[in-house]
Amino acid sequence: MERNNGQKVYKIVMLVMITIIITSLVTAYGTYQYLNTKGLPSASNKTNTDLKGLEYTLARFRSELEKKYMGEIKDEDLFDGAIKGYVAGLGDPYTVYYTKEEMKEIMQETNGNYVGIGIYMTLNKEKNAIEVIKPMEDSPAEEAGILQGDLIVKVDGEGYTGDKMDEASNRIKGEAGTKVKLEILRNGETKEFEITRKKVLISHITTKVLENNIGYIAISDFDGGCADEFETKYKKLQEKGINKLIIDIRNNGGGIVDEAIDILDMITDKGSTLLITKDKKDNEDITKAKQNPIIKMPIVVLTNEYSASASEILAGALKDNEKATLVGMTTYGKGVIQELHQLTDGSGLKITTNEYFTPKRNAINKIGIEPDVEIDLSDKAKASANLKDEDDNQLQKAIEVLKSKN
């Protein structure tokens, strides 16, 4: 999924490790009857060597549950929960275990097939809350009135915080025609929405021609097919006579790194450095442009605090290679890359494997990329549900910057 050619051996090692973990859990399940005559050990007891081990602890928990738990025990749910908790213990919000059902949904979404209400979400780190980046165009969420900046507090009556965003996302998804209830916090006021899920056609790119023959391309995400769509729609703009370009990656939370790299290949000079990654052992991998650029006009890139991950790779490479002027606000600061492994049973493991740096070796993680021209969105623009070009002061600044370029 990510461009990281030097990590093949590392991937194999990680898969072996996960296999060992899963084998241990299966062994634990098979041995609990043997151990159920002994007392339940304290989870914090690290001194008694006879009681050490993940297998023993899980087996004892299982034994006690079978003796006392009133409800139904579902082995598959316990197994998935154990793995999720094990991985969550790393304390990394980007390293996640997915059940086979979750993995199936992820693969469908990555390929542009999505059933749900159609929203992009992010972690609001300051509030530990789930924040809406924006609703998808023509989605049930947009039709219901969900807005950028809304905080999702509850899903179907159950509360969710930012560190539970993946769980909330899975709860929001569902079969077409079914309903989901969201409790939203907006400007200190609580609002409730009941939204009917449906299949949402995901388009990564929207375009238009602005004044002075300025082309405008907004990239909503970098999921599968994004780069091909970008090239196709850029060429259509070119046929309309554009001679300058605005690339809008505001509210773009990222996606597949290779898609961003392929777009950079259309803009940067052959041989230019596009991305530098380092793994936990400081092994370095450098990605360079493979072809001569097809886009050779002045470019402004619009960024904001929700431009993250692959968006930051794009912005950083264009800035460092002096191929674009960045206008807007400092980006989110997600400078780490995840690899997604599908396991043999259909489940998946997304692992943070690398930190990435701009071509000039500037760190991004928890820092972000500063724009060349800093300008915040006006209060009027922030309050607008359907922002018009003339009220978008960041866009107007981008147009102003391009007008000054020959």
Catalytic annotation, residues: 309, 320, 334
CA dihedral 68, 73, 78, 81 (to 10 degrees): -90
Tell me the sheet residues that pair with 338. Answer: 352
| Angle in degrees, CA 212, 214, 216, rounded to 5 | 150
In whole angstroms, give the CA distance from residue 30 to residue 348.
23
Pairing of strands 214-219, 205-210: antiparallel
CA atoms within 13 A on the CB side of 128: 6
Amino acid at residue number 322:
E
- Do the Cβ atoms of 317 and 362 come closer than 8 Å? no
C-alpha to C-alpha distances, 169 to 38, 79, 163, nearest whole angstrom: 40, 21, 12
Cβ neighbours around 386 below 10 Å, total: 6
In whole angstroms, give the CA distance from residue 402 to residue 406.
8
Tell me the sheet residues that pair with 215. Answer: 209, 245
Which helix (H) or strand (E) segment is 219 a member of? strand 214-219
C-alpha to C-alpha distances, 293 to 59, 216, 270, 277, 405, nearest whole angstrom: 59, 18, 7, 23, 19
